[in-house]
Amino acid sequence: MANSSPAKGMKEAGVAITMQRPAQDVFDRWMADAHSPAFAGQVIIVRREGETGFAWRATVTDAGNIEGGTSIASSESSMTAGWKSTMQAPAAGSLMLIELPYMRGTEVRVVLDPDRLKESEKAREAARGELRLSLLRFRQLLEAGEIATVRGQSSGRKGGRDPDGSEDEQQSLKSAGGRS
Amino acid sequence: MKAVCWRGTRDVRVEDVAEPKIINPRDIVVRVTSTAICGSDLHLYNNVFPGMTSGDILGHECMGEVVEVGPSVESLRAGDRVVIPCTIACGGCFYCKQGQYSACDNSNPNPSSSSQILGYPCCGMMGYSSVTGAYAGGQAEYVRVPFGDVGPLKIPDGIPDEKVLFLSDILPTGWMGALNCAVQPGDVVAVWGAGPVGQMAIRSLLLQGAERVIAIDRLDDRLEVAARAGAETFNASEGQVYEFLLEATGGRGPDACLDAVGMEADGHGLMDAADRVKQTLGVETDRPPVLREAIRCVRKGGTISLLGVYAGLVDSLPMGVAFNKGVTFRMGQVRVQAFHHLLLSLIMQDLLRPEEIISHTAPLSDASEMYKLFLKKADRCLKVVLKPGQTRAA
Ligand SMILES: NC(=O)c1ccc[n+]([C@@H]2O[C@H](COP(=O)([O-])OP(=O)(O)OC[C@H]3O[C@@H](n4cnc5c(N)ncnc54)[C@H](O)[C@@H]3O)[C@@H](O)[C@H]2O)c1
Ligand SMILES: [Zn+2]
Ligand SMILES: [Zn+2]
Over the stretch B75-115, which tens digit does the pLDDT of each residue have?
999 999 999 999 999 999 999 999 999 999 999 998 877 88
Look at residue A38 in the predicted model and tell me its pLDDT. Answer: 27
CB B166 within 8 A of CB B200: yes
Sorted by where each begins, the domain ranges of chain A are: 14-174
Chain A CB within 8 Å of residue B151 CB: no
The list of chain B residues with pLDDT below 50 reads: none
Look at residue A123 in the predicted model and tell me its pLDDT. Answer: 63
Q: What are phi and psi of B138, to 5 degrees?
A: -100, 10
Q: Kindly report, residue by residue over B238-267, the tens digit of the pLDDT.
A: 999 999 999 999 999 999 999 999 999 999
Confidence of residue A44 (pLDDT cuts 50, 70, 90): very low
Q: Which residues lie with the beta carbon below 6 Å from any ligand 1 atom? A: B 38-40, 42-43, 169-170, 173, 192-198, 216-219, 222, 236, 260-262, 265-266, 289-290, 307-309, 333-334
Residues carrying CATH 3.40.50.720, chain B? 176-331
Look at residue B190 in the predicted model and tell me its pLDDT. Answer: 98
Q: What is the mean pLDDT of chain A?
A: 57
Residues B178, B200: Cα–Cα separation, whole Å = 9
Distance between Cα B25 and ligand 1 center (Å): 36
Closest chain B residue to A160 measured between Cα atoms?
Answer: B17
Strand order in B303-306's β-sheet?
A: B232-235, B212-217, B188-192, B256-259, B303-306, B328-331
Look at residue A96 in the predicted model and tell me its pLDDT. Answer: 67
Which CATH number among 3.30.470.10, 3.90.180.10, 3.40.50.880, 3.40.920.10 corresponds to the domain B2-169+334-387? 3.90.180.10
| Cβ contacts from A onto B, under 8 A | 112
- Using a CB cutoff of 5 Å, list residues around ligand 3, an ion: B 89-90, 93, 96, 104, 106
Chain A CB within 8 Å of residue B72 CB: yes
Residues carrying CATH 3.90.180.10, chain B? 2-169+334-387
Look at residue A11 in the predicted model and tell me its pLDDT. Answer: 46
Look at residue A100 in the predicted model and tell me its pLDDT. Answer: 81
Look at residue A16 in the predicted model and tell me its pLDDT. Answer: 86
Look at residue A25 in the predicted model and tell me its pLDDT. Answer: 78
CB B380 within 8 A of CB B357: no
Residues B25, B39: Cα–Cα separation, whole Å = 32
Residues A67, A31: Cα–Cα separation, whole Å = 14
CB B303 within 8 A of CB B181: yes
Which pTM does this prediction carry? 0.87
User: Counting atoms of ligand 1 from 1, which one is nearest the CA of B197?
Assistant: 16
User: Counting atoms of ligand 1 from 1, which one is nearest the CA of B306?
Assistant: 1
CB B155 within 8 A of CB B81: yes
Which is higher by pLDDT, B20 or A55?
Answer: B20
- How many residues are given for chain B? 394
Look at residue A60 in the predicted model and tell me its pLDDT. Answer: 29
Which is higher by pLDDT, A124 or B24?
Answer: B24
List Cα–Cα distances, B280 to B47, B94, B106, B270, B283, in angstroms.
11, 38, 33, 15, 8
Ligand with smallest separation from the Cα of B272: 1
Q: Which CATH class is domain A14-174?
A: alpha beta
Confidence of residue A61 (pLDDT cuts 50, 70, 90): very low
CATH architecture of the domain with range B176-331? 3-Layer(aba) Sandwich (3.40)
